[in-house]
Chain A
Amino acid sequence: SAVISQKPSRDICQRGTSLTIQCQVDSQVTMMFWYRQQPGQSLTLIATANQGSEATYESGFVIDKFPISRPNLTFSTLTVSNMSPEDSSIYLCSVPTVAGELFFGEGSRLTVL
């Protein structure tokens, strides 16, 4: 399994500001995924971060709100822009193994006041 590190682990932000979450993996991976987990809820895929190309967003998520960077095969960032209290969630980075299993980081817990 991959070792996935996310920063920050938690943060409290003001409405209208933006926060960038970092995800570092200890091995090279082709795809990285960003998920959102709203309080007490399940996991929803935001987008797939592809190295060397634009991220692919799921229905209901747009690049202007959640811009993603993928500068190399071990690193990605997700920015939550112009935040509102509804953006308070856990944001999770995940990577697949060659066997097709999906592993998650510990998440970044975001509270927007």
Chain B
Amino acid sequence: GENVEQHPSTLSVQEGDSAVIKCTYSDSASNYFPWYKQELGKGPQLIIDIRSNVGEKKDQRIAVTLNKTAKHFSLHITETQPEDSAVYFCAAARQGGSEKLVFGKGTKLTVNP
């Protein structure tokens, strides 16, 4: 089955710097890759996703890149703000849908003011 590895497990940056979180997956049939942000005491919130027919997607300060050949995808946050502090999870699934999402172990991002 699918296995998703996520790095780093913790990341600390200064406000205004960029943050990058990387994930690799094992199932070459996976073609849907969402990213979730989980703040303390809340459920995971979908912040961006990418499908395998696209190499990069941007939404304001957030971007995701996908390299299907290498089977890895990354989350990029620019101009980080203290409210970006949270745990971020990557995930992967087949068939372009949300069925049976397999999640990475999470990255705890701390943005220092």
Bound-state CA distance A106–B41 (Å) is 8
Known contacts A41-B105, A42-B104; is-contact A96 B99 (Cβ 8 Å): yes
Closest chain-A Cβ to B15's Cβ sits at a distance in Å of 25
Contacting pair B98 A42 (CB below 8 A): no
Bound-state CA distance A61–B49 (Å) is 28
Closest chain-B Cβ to A53's Cβ sits at a distance in Å of 16
Known contacts A41-B105, A42-B105; is-contact A96 B43 (Cβ 8 Å): no
Q: Report whether over half of chain B's contact residues are helix, strand or loop; otherwise say mixed.
A: loop
Known contacts A101-B34, A104-B43; is-contact A31 B99 (Cβ 8 Å): yes
Q: Report whether over half of chain A's contact residues are helix, strand or loop; otherwise say mixed.
A: strand
A window 40-72: CB within 8 A of B = 41-45, 48
Contacting pair B98 A45 (CB below 8 A): no
Contacting pair B43 A102 (CB below 8 A): no
A window 74-96: CB within 8 A of B = 92, 94, 96
Contacting pair B104 A102 (CB below 8 A): no
B window 88-113: CB within 8 A of A = 89, 96-101, 103-106
- Of the candidates A4, A45, A106, A109, the one whose C-beta lies within 8 Å of that of B101 is A45
Bound-state CA distance A105–B46 (Å) is 11
Contacting pair A103 B105 (CB below 8 A): no
Contacting pair A107 B98 (CB below 8 A): no
Interface check A39, CB cutoff 8 A: no
B window 62-100: CB within 8 A of A = 89, 96-100
Binding site for A on B (CB under 8 A): 32, 34, 36, 41-46, 49, 89, 96-101, 103-106
| Extra contacts besides A1-B46, A43-B44, A100-B97 (11): CB < 8 Å | A44-B103, A94-B98, A100-B32, A100-B98, A101-B34, A101-B98, A102-B34, A102-B101, A104-B36, A106-B42, A109-B41
Those 10 A-B pairs whose CB atoms lie nearest each other, nearest first: A102-B98, A100-B97, A104-B43, A96-B98, A106-B43, A42-B103, A43-B103, A107-B43, A42-B105, A104-B44
Binding site for B on A (CB under 8 A): 1, 4, 31, 41-45, 48, 92, 94, 96-97, 100-107, 109
